[in-house]
Every structure is written in structure tokens, then in C-alpha cells.
Structure 1
Amino acid sequence: MKRTFSKLFLTVALSLGTVAISSVSTNIMAAASIDIQSVLQQERVWAGLQTKRLKVGDIDWAYSEGGQVGKPTLILVHGLSGSRDNWNRFARNLTPYYHVVIPDLPGQGDSKAPADFEYSIPNITEKLRRFAEAGQFEKDAHIAGHSMGGAVALLYTAQYPIDTKSLFLIDSAGVFKSANTPYLKDPATLRNMVVAKPGDLDRLLNIATHLPPFIPKELKDSQEKMMISQSVNTSKLVEQLILMSKMYTPDSFAIATRVIDQPVLIAWGDKDQIINVEAATELKNLLKNAQAPIILKNVGHMPIMEQEQLLVQPYLEFLNKYK
């Protein structure tokens, strides 16, 4: 059975295949054509976020920023083929209390990267650090990452421990012993998650969410066209993930993970078809200071969009301990 969402603004996102699709008020949906960028901008405002840009080296970063500067900073990292807008519904609950920064990663969303940009996790992590330094967001930051963004957030925390206060991993990518989905046993299947032609978005929704949402056709078509236009960069990211799975073993991944001393919160959907829920316990056992994972019932790979309200209170309580 499919769910119909009726909130004024709703972002449905897929990550390790993430996509931002917004459901809007009746008067907007009645329009003959939908300007999805305008819709997303309205959703950011609803979440207490402003759109900003920052040029750092050869990358032109687009990012959302909200909350009061001077309060503890949260940096939220989206997943493969996603954008900062994947976090809007979740961030709406954070901006009243924290300084929230959500970048579009290089070559994703509205951020621009050179044609020869290297889309490896280490390089993306290093560029994220340069972005944080340029924006003066790096000191005493709390990092959160979903899916591929979880791998970036984990590596960022390991490499910059002095400036990182806590880590939140949501259905995080990694190289696991316990994960046994087709997408990890045969990483080449990740190529099937690239939205490269009409119809691919429906297939991706069925993979990444447990109960695929109803989305108005005009919005779905508009978002699918946008994702098709970005499919070249998405494919480069996928190839880097496949390469990572060949270069690293669960043991080498464990070595990198065990150096993290920061407090860690882990959350997972128990119906995740991309990275199965057993990986949550494996991560917890690798990390020195991780709480018991939050396992969300009947939720797929996209907790921040499928059931974000179930994560808000635990995350706020976690953050309150480590301000």
C-alpha cells in the first residue's frame, strides 16, 4: 500500500541514490508547469534555511544555512545523487536550536565542480573540509551523514577529530562484514541506481523506500529530468563506490573506524534494501563511543524522509549531551 503525504511541503529523497522531490500546496500543484527550483526554495524557507554560495578553489558550493550563528554548528551531508534538500524536513526541527549548514556536495545539486573532478570519498571529504574552513564552520562542529554521506562524515570525523564534537550516521555506507544485500555483494548493481532515462526514478523509489510515496506527476517528471541531466556525475560517484569496495576490506574499514573517539549516534531503517540493518550493530561494535543503534520499524533506506520525526527527538537529546 502506498502512502499519500499531505503536508504543505514534503521532500521525498533517495540516497545512495537520493533525490529531492517536493509536494506543495494545492494552488502550486494546480499550475500548468512547475518550477521545481522555486518549490525547493520555498521549502528551504519553511525549514528556516537560506540559500548561499561559496567559491573555494575550483568548486562553486551551493549550501543552505539556518539557525543562529554562534550556536553549535551542525553540518549535514547528503548521499549519492542527492542534494541539501534531502535534509529540509529534518533540518526544520534543528534550526530553532542550532546553526545548521547543509552543502550540496561537488557536482551534486547546485554545486559546480570541474569536469575532471575526482569523485572519491577521500577527495570529497577533503573538499568538504576546505569548504568548512572557508565558511568558518569547522570549529566544534557536529557532523551527520546519510548513506554515502555517512561514509564522508565518518572519514571527516576520523581525519579532523579536534574540530569534530559528535557524529550521526544514518543508514551509512561502508565496507561491512554483515551487510549482504545485492548492492553490497555485487557493487556493480549500484549502477542500476543512476537515474539516466525516463522511468528510472520509479525504480529507484521502490528500492530506497519501504513504502514508496505518491508524488504528483508534474513534480516527478520535473525531478526526473533534473536527475537525468546530472547522471554523468552520478555515474562517476557510483564508479568510485565500486572501486572503494574493491580496494578496502571490512578489516581495513574497521581500522579507520576504530580511531574515532567522538560520541556517535547510529540510526537505521529495518527494511533497508541497500545496506541491510545488520550493519548498524557492526558499526556500533567498531566505534569506541557509540550508543545502541536506533532501529526504525518498517522504514527503508531513507529514514530522514520516511520517518524523520522518529529521529528528531533522539538526535536533539544526543546533541544536548555534547554541546
Structure 2
Amino acid sequence: MKNLILYALAIVPLFMSGKTMLDVEKSNLIFKNKENMTTIKYRTLEVNGINIAYREAGNPENETIVLLHGFPTSSHQYRKVLDQLSDEYHLVAPDYPGFGNSDFPAASAFEYTFDNIAATIDAFLEKKEITSYALMIQDYGAPIGFRIATAHPERVTAIINQNGNAYEEGLGAAWKDTKAFWANRNEQSEKALLHSFSLEALKWQYTHGTRNPEKVNPDTWHLDYLRMSRPNAHAVQLDLFYDYQNNVKLYPKWQKYLRENQPPLLIVWGKNDAFFPESGAIAFEKDVKNIDYNIYDTGHFALEEDADKIIPKMRSFLSKLKK
């Protein structure tokens, strides 16, 4: 009875304005369709024997943004972007193998290198028949995204860069132990990096450099810690840490891609990032002419504290490309 009364109260003003029941039903249908399009879906897609988990929102007929996450997180880091931009864009955020809710195959069955992860995500996009997209990159998302971009430059409509590095001057002080690991991988240099997977260190990655750590949802680092605590997770992550040096070797190739293709570039960078400081953002100005440059007084995961500034900037940047 209560629902009937509420429904009657809702439609009376419509009839008074001259609208019919058919008009009401059409309005409800449009509302339901819009709500369905903007709702985040949690899906999986099998790619070369591996189930890739991904979040998807928005109308696939709209322009696509592919959201590539960083270490040590997953597509969860883009939850605010998916929620707020799905009214106008089609958004797809995959979890890499071994990350998030994707399969975590043994190292004997899957080679944990950035080449192989990028190839897997590229194959994922192929299987989804997504052949035109803007890339949003952050941390690990940069070496994965730039591999995809250099393989398919004609598909990339724009790059949205939130602390995704492609220059040696963008490697901050926090890389000291990792660089020693690159120079000499042994038990001692591996042990020096194991603290990176502790709950305390994961929390630090999210809160270091923020203006107000209380604005950062603690679920973020607790989710990461849960996944980092799985058997063999540390060994896999150490393999990726070691392989990261091959990303640095590819920086000149990625810079050449930027110079030759000039993708529209939005920089939304947390300047207090100990891994990728602002010097990494500035470096892009050497190679890209069309840059919308924005620096925020926050840390590595800038969306956690400044999503209310970054997401409107993304919308504005992308809307200008439509004109």
C-alpha cells in the first residue's frame, strides 16, 4: 500500500502537466536503461587460459577509456572514475594476472614480466573488440600502457597520466633498494625489498605525501595486503621488481612514440610521490606538445585524495577532444 501511494504521488504531477501513462513508462524505461549503463559490472574474460577480472561501466557505444592500474593494487583504484564518468564514457579496468581478482597462475605457467602482462592485456582488449581508446596509466600501468600504445599507435586517442613514468629523471629516491637489486640479485638484495609487501609499507604507499591521510580509505592497503599474503606472491612480485629495469631500457622507445604520434596528454600528478616525483611529469613536456598539465599536492595514489579535482579535469580534457 505504501509503494502504491508513493507511486500515485509521483505520477499525479505528470498528469497535471498533460503527460500520459505512456510518457511515464517511457521515462521510467529511459531511467532504468541509464542506470543499467552507469552501473559498474564485475566481469571476467578468459585470455590464453587465464581469467582476467575487470570492471566495466558505461555505454560501449561511447568513447572508451582503458584504466591500467599500478602496484600493488588492482582495478579497485579506479572505482571513483568508473562511478563518475560512466554517464558519458565507456570504461574498462582490467586486473593483471596475479593482481586483483584475476587468476594467479604459478610462475611455471605464466612468465611474470611486463612484456607478458602487456601482451595479455592487449589480447584482452582484442577479445573485447576494443580498438579505439584513451589510456589512463598509473605506476605499473605506464609500462603496460606504453607497450600497448607503441604496438597500436593508431588506436590510442589520448593518454591520461597519473604518476606513470617514462623518463629516468622521473625515478625518485624510493628506487634505491630496487636499483641495488637490479645490479645484483641475490638473497640479501631480495631481503631488502621484502618490507615492500608488509601492511605498514603498503599503507605508506597510499598515505605518504597526502595532505590528510584520514581521507584515504584503509580498505585499499588491506585489500592489497590480503593479495600480497598469498603463497608465492612475494616471489612473483620480486620477479616484476627485477624486470622493471627493462622498462627503463624502453624509455627511449616510448619517448619516440610520443614525439612521432603526439597523443593528447593529460597530466594529473601527485607531486609528493616518492617513487615518481614531479620531475617525471615535467619530462613529458620535452616530447609532447599538446599537454594539459596539472600537479596536485598529494602522493602516489592521487585519486584517493583528489578525485574530486582529477575526475572533472578528465571530463573536461576528453570533451575538448570531441570537438
Question: Normalized against structure 1, the TM-score is what?
Answer: 0.74
Q: Does 1:300 align with 2:292?
A: no
Shift of residue 66 of structure 1? 0.8
For 2:90, the equivalent position in structure 1 comes to 99
Structure with higher RCO (Cα < 8 A, 6+ apart): 1
For the 8 Å contact 1:67–1:100, the answer to whether it is kept is yes
For the 8 Å contact 2:170–2:281, the answer to whether it is kept is no
- Give the 3 Å change call, closer, same or farther, for CA 238–49 of structure 1 in structure 2: same
> Aligned runs of 1:1-323 on 2, under 5 Å?
48-116=39-107, 117-136=110-129, 138-176=130-168, 178-179=169-170, 181-184=172-175, 187-188=178-179, 192=193, 195-207=196-208, 209=210, 211-213=212-214, 224-229=225-230, 230-245=233-248, 247-248=249-250, 251=252, 254-287=255-288, 289-296=289-296, 298-323=297-322
User: Which is richer in helix?
Assistant: 2
Q: Give CA deviations for 1:24-51 in whole Å, capped at 9, x if unaligned.
A: xxxxxxxxxxxxxxxxxxxxx9x83111
Q: Which amino acid is the alignment partner of residue 202 of structure 1?
A: K
Q: Which amino acid is the alignment partner of residue 136 of structure 2?
A: A
Q: Partners in 2 of 1:195 and 1:271 — Cα distance?
A: 18
Give the % identical residues: 21
For the 8 Å contact 1:154–1:257, the answer to whether it is kept is no
Farther off after superposition, 266-275 or 235-244: 235-244
- Give the 3 Å change call, closer, same or farther, for CA 223–263 of structure 1 in structure 2: closer
Q: Partners in 1 of 2:86 and 2:198 — Cα distance?
A: 36
Q: Partners in 2 of 1:216 and 1:139 — Cα distance?
A: 34
Unaligned ranges ≥5, structure 2: 1-35, 182-191
Farther off after superposition, 252-261 or 124-133: 252-261
**SS, match of residue 53 in structure 2:** strand
Shift of residue 281 of structure 1? 1.3
Unaligned ranges ≥5, structure 1: 1-44
- Give the 3 Å change call, closer, same or farther, for CA 228–260 of structure 1 in structure 2: farther
Q: Partners in 1 of 2:116 and 2:46 — Cα distance?
A: 17
In the comparison of the two structures, how many residue pairs are matched? 272
Q: Which amino acid is the alignment partner of residue 231 of structure 1?
A: H
Question: Normalized against structure 2, the TM-score is what?
Answer: 0.74
Q: Partners in 1 of 2:199 and 2:313 — Cα distance?
A: 38
